[in-house]
Structure 1
Amino acid sequence: MSIHTLDTPESPIQVQGKGKQLPVEVIALEDEGDKGHKYEVDLEPNEHPQHYSLSKKWIVIAVISSSALCVTFASSAASFTEAGMAAEFHIPREVTILSITVFVAGLGIGPLLTGPLSEMYGRNIIYRVSYVLLCAFTFGVAFAPDIAVHLVFRFLTGLCGSSFLSVAGGTVSDMFENKHVANPMAVYTLSPFIGPVAGPLIAGFINQNTDWRWTYRVLIIWSFAQTVALFLLVPETYVPVLKKWKAAELRKSTGDENYWAPLDRSDLSLSRAILISCYRPFELVILERMALLLNIWTSLILGILYLAFQAFPVIFEQHHGFSTEQTGLTFLGIGLGMIIGLTTQPYWNHFISKESEKHGGVCPPEARLHSGEVGGVLIPISLYWLAFTTYPSVPWIVPIIASIPFGTGIFLVFTSVFTYLVTAYRPIAASAMASNTAMRSSFAATFPLFAGFMYAKLGTVGATALLAGLMTLTVPLPFVFRRIGARLRANSRFAAH
C-alpha cells in the first residue's frame, strides 16, 4: 500500500506512520515485504528552487552566464595570442592555431562526463570543482615553457570549463517553470556565444599593448573572481540531490534510518551512467535524421564563427591596414547582432504562447523552429553581403555592418534548435544536447585549422562566398522539419510522441 500526500501552504498535512508523527514534507510508504514503514522525503514548497525570490534567481543566472561567457571567451581569445606564441616558441603560425582546437575539443568531450556526474552529485559541486581546476590549469597555460605544455593545459581548461555549456542550462530550468523559462534561458544561451566574440575584442587590446601571456593572466583573475562568486552566490538547485541531502539530515537528526530519497535507491552506478552518456548521443545521431541534420546545421554555423577568428584579421589587417586592437573591435558587429536577436525574445514568447493555445495548451516542438527559419535565412544573406564587401576599395564599416545579421541569425538558430531538441527528445534531453555539443565542438575545433589556407587560395571574396553557399543549402532544414517533424517523431524510438 502506498500513501502519497502532498502538503500545501493552505492545508499542511501530517503523515502518520508506525505510531509516530512525521514532518509534513515526508511521504509515508508501506511496501509489501518491508518490515515497518519507509518514509520518502519531499521538499517543502519554500525549499524548492522554483520558490526562490526573483532577485536570487537572476543573481544565479548572472553568475552562471558570466561563467559560461568566461569559458568561451578563453576559447577565442587565443586567436590573438598566435603571433606572440609563434615568435617566443619558434614555431609556425599554423601550429599556434591548435591552441583553439584543443580547447574546443575539451569543450566537446567534457559534457559526456559532467552530465552524469551532475545527476548523481548535483550541479553545484560540478561548478565549483570545474572552476577551481579551470583557474589552476590556466596558470599552466599562462606560464607554459613550451608549446607542448601550453596545449596540454589548454585542453584541460577546455575540459573543465565544458560543464557550463552542458550543466548550466539545467540550473535555469530547475528554477523556472516551463511557462517562465524562455527569457532566462535566452539570456543564458546568449552568454556562450557572446564569449567568442568578446575574446578577440579584449585580446586585441591586450596583445597590441603587452605580452601575449597577459591574455591568460587576465583569464586567471577573471576565473578566480567567478570561482568566488560560484561559492558565495550559487546554491544547489537540482531537486533529486536536495531531497537526498534532506533525507540524510533527517536520518542523522532522528536516528531513524527509514528516511530516504529516490536518488538513494538509484541502481545506476557512476560507471554505467558515464557509459550511457558516452554512447547514447552517438546512437541518437546515427538513428535520428532530425537530430543529425539539425546538429550538422548548428555545427556548420559555429564552425564558421570560429573560422572568422582567422578570417577577420585577413580581411581587416591586410585589406584595411587595421592594428591588432582595431581588428578585435570588428567583432562588435556579430556581438551587436546577437544582442538584437535577444531583443526579439518577447515576440517569440508571444508566438509560442499563441501556438500553445492552438494545441490545447501544449506547444508542439516543431513550433520552436519558426525562429530558426528566420535565423537560417539571415546567415547566408549576411555571409554573401560580407563576401562582396571585403574588397579594399569598400569602406571598412560596410563588412562590419554586414556581419550584424550573422550574429542575429546565430542567436535565433541556436535558441530554436536547443529548445527543439530538449522538447522533441525530452526523455533523453541531456543526450540530445550532448550530441549537439560534441558535434558542434568538433566543427569549431577543425574549421580554424584550414581557414588560412582557404582564404589564401580562394581570396576573401571566394572563401566567404563558399561559406555562404554552404549555408544556403541548409536553409530548407527548419522549414522541412517544421512540416514533417511530428510524423518523424511518431516513428522515433527516442522522441516524445
Structure 2
Amino acid sequence: MSAHGSDSTIDVASTEEAPAQDVEKAVDKGKQAASAGVQVADADPYEVKLTPEEDPKNMTKFRRWLAVMVISTAAFCVTSCSSAASFTEAGTMADFHVSHEVAILGVSLFVQGLGLGPLLAGPLSELYGRNIVYRASFFFFWVFTFPVAFPPDMATFLVFRWITGFCGAAFLSVAGGSIGDMFANHEVATPMAIFTVSPFVGPAVGPLVAGFITQNTNWRWVYRVFIIWNFIQFVCIVAFVRETYVPVLLKWKAARLRKSENESRYWAPLDRHQGLWHSIQQSCYVPFKLIILDRMALLLDLWSALLLGILYLAFQVFPIIFGQGHHFNVQSVGMTFLGIGLGMVVAVACTPLWNALYRRETARHNGNPPPEMRLIIGMVGAVIVPISLYWLAFTTYPHVHWIVPIISSVFLGIGIVFCFTAVFTYLVVAYRPVAASAMAGNTFVRTSFAAAFPLFAGQMYDALGTVGATALLAGLTTVIAPLPFIFYRYGARIRASSRFAA
C-alpha cells in the first residue's frame, strides 16, 4: 500500500517490504520516469528507464488481480498454519510424552519465526526482487513442512515449526508492496483491503480446519493437508505472479542493454546499492533503535502487541470455554473461531466508509491532513475491544447459551482490525522517513507477545477462572484504550520532539 495515498488501507503494507532509504528514492525516481515515459533532460543518458509498456501498473487487469489473489491466499495459508498447531497439541503430547507447555511451543515458535523473517526477507527483496523471495520462501515453507508432518521426535517438530514460520514471513513483509507496484493510488484500496484481511482471517480459520481433521483422523494429517496446500500454492506463485519491483526491473533492463548493445555504461539505481549486508544491518538496527528511543512508537507497538497476544491466547482459551464449559467436541470448538473471522471480514468491509471519512478530512486540510487523522479508526477499535472482552468474560458460564460469547467474539474481531489499521497507518505516515523500520519493529514486538501469551494461558485460566482471566484481559485493554485519544490530541507535539517522526 502506498504510504502517500489518502486511503486508510493504502498505508499499511507498502512499508512492510522494508526498503532502504536509498532504494526508496530510486523507486520514486524510476516510477516518475516510467509514468512520464520520457527521459529526464538533465539525467544521465545511460541511466535506464522503464517504458509505459514495462510498467507493472500497465499489466492487464486480469493478470494483476490474479496475482493479488495468489499473494493473498499465500498469506492466508501461512497464518492459518500458525494457529492450526493449537489443535494438534493433544496429539503431540500423547505421541512424544511432553507437557502441555512444550506442546504450545508449536504455535509460539512459528509466530516468533514470523516476526524475525522480515529482517531477512526485506533486504533480500530490495536487491533480488519480490518474486525470487516469494518462490524461495514458499518452496522452503513447503519442504520444511515435511519434518513437521513426519517428525521422529518433539525437538524436530519444534525446530521445523520455527523454520517454517521464518520462511513464510515473506508474505507478511513483502507481499503488500507487490500490490502497490501493480495498482495506482486511486485504485489500490480494494485489492489492498483483500490482501489486508487474508493474514488476519488466517489465524481464525486454522483452528477450524485443524479441528475437523483431528476429530476425524489424527494430528499428523493437519500438516499433511498443509503440505498439499503449500504445493498448490507454490505452483500458483510460479505460474501467475511476475516480478513487479521497479528497481529490479530497471536492473534487469540495464543488464540486457549492456549485453545487447555492448555498452557497459548502462546502469540502474540498484546497481549502485551498498549491498545485502548493509541492508540487513539497517533492517536489524534501526527498528530496535526506534523502539528504545521513541516512546510514542513503543506505546503503539505495545498496544498492537497486547491485542495480537490476546488473539493468539484465544487459541488456548476457546477450548477451555467451549470444550470444557459447553462440552463441544474438537471440530465444534474449531468452528467457534468463525466469530472472530467474521468480525475481521466485517471490519475490512467497512473500509470504504473510513476512506470516505479520510477523503473529507484530507479536503478539509487542503490535501495535507495530519497523521493523527489515522488514529480515528483506532479510537473506535479501542472502545470496542474491551467491551467485547467484558461481554465475553461474563458470558462464559456454562448456563449461558454458547452463541452469546461467540457474538462477542465478532466484535472482538472488528475491534482488533480497527486498532491494527490505526497503528499500521499511523506508523507509516508519522514515521515516513523510517516507515519500514517502524513497521519492522512493530512486527517484532507483536509477534513476541503472540508467541508468549499462549504459554501462560492454562495457568492463568486455572487460577482465575474463565470469568476472572478474561476480565483481566479486558481490564488491560481498558487501561490502554485512551492511547489513540491521547495521541490524536497531542501527537503533533510529541512528533515535534521526536528524532524519527516526520
Alpha-carbon distance in structure 1 between the residues aligned to 2:319 and 2:41: 63
- Note the alpha carbon deviations across 1:211-256, whole angstroms, 9 max, x for none: 1000000110111111111111111111111111111111111111
Alpha-carbon distance in structure 2 between the residues aligned to 1:46 and 1:225: 30
- Is structure 2 residue 61 aligned with structure 1 residue 90? no
1:337, 1:405 within 8 Å by CA — same for their partners in 2? Answer: yes
Alignment of 1:98-177 (within 5 A): 98-177=105-184
**Structure 1 residues 495 and 52, CA gap change in structure 2 (3 angstroms):** farther
1:183 maps to which of 190, 200, 203: 190
1:108, 1:162 within 8 Å by CA — same for their partners in 2? Answer: yes
Alpha-carbon distance in structure 1 between the residues aligned to 2:171 and 2:114: 9
Q: Which has the larger radius of gyration?
A: 1
2:325 maps to which of 302, 311, 319: 319
Identity among equivalent pairs (%): 60
Q: TM-score, normalised by structure 1?
A: 0.92
1:456 maps to which of 447, 454, 462: 462
What is the aligned partner in structure 2 of residue 430 from structure 1? 436
**Structure 1 residues 98 and 12, CA gap change in structure 2 (3 angstroms):** closer
**Structure 1 residues 443 and 387, CA gap change in structure 2 (3 angstroms):** same
CA RMSD in angstroms comes to: 1.8
Alignment of 1:266-285 (within 5 A): 266=273, 268-285=274-291
- Is structure 2 residue 85 aligned with structure 1 residue 58? no
Alignment of 1:71-90 (within 5 A): 71-90=78-97
What is the aligned partner in structure 2 of residue 210 from structure 1? 217
| Deviation at residue 69 of structure 1 after TM alignment | 0.8
1:469 maps to which of 456, 472, 475: 475
1:26, 1:39 within 8 Å by CA — same for their partners in 2? Answer: no
Alpha-carbon distance in structure 2 between the residues aligned to 1:253 and 1:122: 22
Alpha-carbon distance in structure 1 between the residues aligned to 2:207 and 2:347: 21
| Deviation at residue 184 of structure 1 after TM alignment | 2.4
Alpha-carbon distance in structure 1 between the residues aligned to 2:264 and 2:60: 33
Q: Count the aligned residue pairs.
A: 473
SS of residue in 1 equivalent to 2:46: strand
| Deviation at residue 63 of structure 1 after TM alignment | 1.0
Alignment of 1:13-412 (within 5 A): 29=43, 39-266=46-273, 268-412=274-418
Alpha-carbon distance in structure 2 between the residues aligned to 1:102 and 1:115: 20
SS of residue in 2 equivalent to 1:449: helix
Q: Report which stretch shifted further, 183-192 or 465-474.
A: 183-192
1:92 maps to amino acid:
S
1:140 maps to amino acid:
P
Q: Report which stretch shifted further, 450-459 or 425-434.
A: 425-434
**Structure 1 residues 181 and 483, CA gap change in structure 2 (3 angstroms):** farther
Looking at both structures, which has the greater relative contact order when contacts are Cα pairs under 8 Å and sequence separation is at least 6? 2
Alpha-carbon distance in structure 2 between the residues aligned to 1:484 and 1:202: 45
Alpha-carbon distance in structure 2 between the residues aligned to 1:374 and 1:340: 14
SS of residue in 2 equivalent to 1:97: helix
SS of residue in 2 equivalent to 1:40: coil
2:432 maps to amino acid:
R
Alpha-carbon distance in structure 2 between the residues aligned to 1:28 and 1:417: 40
- Note the alpha carbon deviations across 1:163-212, whole angstroms, 9 max, x for none: 11111121122223334333322221211110100011110000000010
| Deviation at residue 28 of structure 1 after TM alignment | 7.2
SS of residue in 2 equivalent to 1:393: coil
- Note the alpha carbon deviations across 1:279-298, whole angstroms, 9 max, x for none: 11010111112211111001
**Structure 1 residues 46 and 324, CA gap change in structure 2 (3 angstroms):** same
Alpha-carbon distance in structure 1 between the residues aligned to 2:58 and 2:98: 55
2:394 maps to amino acid:
F
Alpha-carbon distance in structure 1 between the residues aligned to 2:37 and 2:405: 63
| Deviation at residue 89 of structure 1 after TM alignment | 0.8
Unaligned runs of 5+ in 2: 1-28
Q: TM-score, normalised by structure 2?
A: 0.91
2:83 maps to amino acid:
S
SS of residue in 2 equivalent to 1:259: coil
